[in-house]
Amino acid sequence: MAAKTSLSGFPEWLPAERIVEQRVLDILRRTFELHGFAPLETRSVEPVRELERKGETSKEIYLLSRLQDRGGHDAKADKSIGLHFDLTVPFARYIGENAGSLHFPFRRYQIQKVWRGERPQEGRFREFYQADIDVVGAGELAFHHEVEVPLVMAQALAALPIPPVQMHVNNRKIVQGMCEALGIEQVDDALRSIDKLDKIGQSGVLEEMTQHGIDSAQGERLLQLAQIHGGLEVLEQVRALGLSHPLLDEGLEELEALLQAAEKHAPGVVIADLKITRGLDYYTGSVYETFLRGHEDLGSICSGGRYDSLVTVGKRTYPGVGMSIGVSRLISRILGADMARASREVPSCVLVAVTNESERDDANEVAYALRERGIPTEVSPSSSKFGKQIRYADRRGIPYVWFTDEQGGHSVKDIRSGEQVDANPQTWQPPQADRWPSWEL
């Protein structure tokens, strides 16, 4: 057997593991379409100048060039291209280029691989699937979409074979309004510092704020805000801080609407967490981070927020709200923690036994008849003794073996129970649960 060549950060699953991954992708796709999101797939490469628009990402971008161009590639050249490291940048470009052909608000989902040149570790890969949904408006976008999008994601995640999730939500207007009420001009710096609270602690956040010109008294007030979390009671806790600003009040009203809707449609899933700000500058309203209960070490598995000017064409802006699931991160934990496994390693529901090689055409005819009615079927690769053919099916988890006797009669055996019954290839149906691989929890 050839030695396994592993490239760190580029996962390859075994067939049974890939079946689990495909089921996850199917459930996400079906849930998104159930809510009216249209499928979209963008190209895998973008101009480097477009990829760099999102911020400091030069270390993450994989450049793409021909082998014969090696050594002469200029990453800053206008024609340089790289693999996309998320689905947001290509989506923004797509909206700008196709706005005249789209109907707004435009609702899209996108499930694709992305490539990111970061240090691989558990749950972090260099090649991985992301699943995004966004709602984008032309010129304006109603707030209710900021309520809808996280609830769609909550429904999608609830359908997967994972523990319950906890979605932490905030509204950046609250933090920005608090900054303006305190006289803090370095709003973006304050937001980025607060977002690091769990990583660097209170002292680290205060020190970083001081470096940005925010005095300690102002920083302490912001930390008081950042430590508030819970349900609807957080609204009064914020007001009890004694500060007022129109933007702060607007953010609190929007957060209240989101929490009320979540309690009605996804009780226990969504909590307010006022330290969640999302470090990227383009978020302007609701922001979301989602964690797997009991597996918080995995980090956020689904995040996003409201943005008002990520997409701009001339004087026209296309505001939106979106969220992204780190699918490969989830899959790695599902498989690693044995949360689910495929019921079999192949799609086949039936193995058609071959009595001898001269009758292989007859076995193929049976297989054709079963496949025409949507039953995944394969023909035995050999005409060895039936016991060996049954063991072949058993090792792969194929539940049924089909036999044809010397008189042309047919029977099918459930090799799990040992039950064997007469069957007609034109009419026989397996139980629905056996037709395709499922997962076992």
pLDDT digits (tens, 9 = 90+) for 383-398: 999 999 999 999 999 9
Distance CA 168, CA 270 (A): 6
Question: What would the two tokens of residue 66 be?
Answer: 């021909």
pLDDT confidence bin for 1, thresholds 50/70/90? very low
From 46-60, 211-225, 306-320, 384-398, the region with the lowest mean pLDDT: 46-60
How many other C-beta atoms can be found within 10 angstroms of the C-beta atom of residue 290?
Answer: 23
Distance CA 89, CA 75 (A): 18
pLDDT at 354: 97
Distance CA 339, CA 154 (A): 19
Assess whether pLDDT exceeds 50 at residue 418: yes
Q: Parallel, antiparallel, or unpaired for β 38-39 and 106-115?
A: parallel
Assess whether pLDDT exceeds 70 at residue 380: yes
Q: What are the backbone angles phi and psi of residue 225, rounded to the nearest 5°?
A: -65, -45
Q: Are 51 and 27 in contact (CB under 8 A)?
A: no
Distance CA 213, CA 207 (A): 10
pLDDT at 289: 96
204-233: pLDDT as tens digits = 999 999 998 999 899 999 999 999 999 999
Assess whether pLDDT exceeds 60 at residue 77: no
Question: Residue 77 CA to chain centroid, in angstroms?
Answer: 33
Assess whether pLDDT exceeds 60 at residue 405: yes
pLDDT at 118: 84
Assess whether pLDDT exceeds 80 at residue 73: no
Average pLDDT taken over every residue of the chain: 92
Question: Residue 95 CA to chain centroid, in angstroms?
Answer: 21
DSSP states of 352-382 as a string?
Answer: E--SSGGGHHHHHHHHHHHHHTT--EEE-S-
From 176-185, 351-360, 417-426, the region with the lowest mean pLDDT: 176-185
pLDDT at 31: 98
133-168: pLDDT as tens digits = 999 999 999 999 999 999 999 999 999 999 999 999
What is the gyration radius of the CA atoms in the chain, in angstroms? 27
Distance CA 379, CA 361 (A): 10
pLDDT at 7: 86
Assess whether pLDDT exceeds 70 at residue 70: no
Mapped onto helix, strand or coil, the DSSP state of residue 423 is: coil
Distance CA 297, CA 279 (A): 20
pLDDT at 315: 86
Distance CA 58, CA 82 (A): 10
pLDDT confidence bin for 279, thresholds 50/70/90? low
Distance CA 156, CA 269 (A): 12
Q: Three-class SS string for 154-194? A: HHHHHCCCCCCEEEEEEEHHHHHHHHHHHCCCCHHHHHHHH
More confident residue, 88 or 57: 88
Altogether, the residues listed in the chain come to a count of 441
Q: Quick one: what percent of the chain has pLDDT higher than 90?
A: 79
- Asked, as a colleague might, if the bond just before 105 is cis with ω within 30 of 0, I would say yes
100-117: pLDDT as tens digits = 999 999 999 999 999 999
285-298: pLDDT as tens digits = 999 999 999 999 99
pLDDT confidence bin for 41, thresholds 50/70/90? very high
Mapped onto helix, strand or coil, the DSSP state of residue 35 is: coil
Assess whether pLDDT exceeds 90 at residue 74: no
Residue type, 318: Y
How many other C-beta atoms can be found within 10 angstroms of the C-beta atom of residue 305?
Answer: 27
Distance CA 273, CA 231 (A): 9
Q: Quick one: what percent of the chain has pLDDT higher than 70?
A: 95
Assess whether pLDDT exceeds 50 at residue 266: yes
- C-alpha closest to that of 225 among 182, 259, 289, 274: 274
pLDDT at 72: 55
Mean pLDDT, residues 231-243 taken together: 95
DSSP states of 56-103 as a string?
Answer: S-TTTPEEE--GGGTT---TTSTT-EEE-SSSHHHHHHHHHHHGGG--
Mean pLDDT, residues 9-24 taken together: 95
Residue recorded with tokens 């500060």: 243
